[in-house]
Amino acid sequence: MSLTSEQITLIQESFAKVAPIKEQAAELFYGRLFEIAPEVRPLFQSDLKEQGAKLMATLGMVVAGLRNLEAVVPVAAKLAERHVGYGVKAEYYAPVGSALLWTLEQGLGEGFTPDVEEAWASAYGLLSGAMIEAAHGPSSAVTEGVA
């Protein structure tokens, strides 16, 4: 799976609209994540404001690097390997993706078109698949429905 140039442009343009409200976006994201996947809440022992800043910075880096996936994917894979040590399981990636898309929908409003949603879902599927494979092995990526 790969991303088209048009999808990358949609992702980058839509993220540029969310970036100015990154603190609120992070709050929405974690609120939604804990609502749909309460089992992940204990993984977040640190300050959620600080965690949200890290999340948005990482998203910004990934979004900026989408035209160079060969460089982004290995960094994402290393991040996933570290996350295993925090207790992250392969099955947590699906609700994270769901919470991300929901947050983008809240932040973008009418700008969250079907094409924008598809582009983000494709990018998340690509990266989360690589992350799950790196951290949990190839069979986990398939069974979690992101491959």
Each residue of 100-142: pLDDT tens digit? 999 999 999 999 999 999 999 999 999 999 999 999 887 665 5
Each residue of 60-95: pLDDT tens digit? 999 999 999 999 999 999 999 998 888 899 999 999
Determine the pLDDT at residue 143.
Answer: 52
Predicted structure pTM score: 0.90
Q: Spell out a b/e string for 128-137, using b for 16 or more CB atoms within 10 Å of the CB, else e.
A: bbbbbbbbbe
Nearest to 83 by CA among 58, 47, 53, 101: 58
Determine contact, residues 62/127, Cβ cutoff 8 Å: yes
Number of compact structural domains in the chain: 1
- Residue-averaged pLDDT of the chain: 91
Determine the pLDDT at residue 131.
Answer: 93
Determine contact, residues 14/112, Cβ cutoff 8 Å: yes
Phi, psi of 2 (to 5 degrees): -145, 170
CATH code, domain carrying 44: 1.10.490.10
Placement of tokens 């429905």 in the chain: 145
Identify the band that residue 55 occupies on the pLDDT scale cut at 50, 70 and 90: very high
Q: Which domain range does residue 21 map to?
A: 5-143
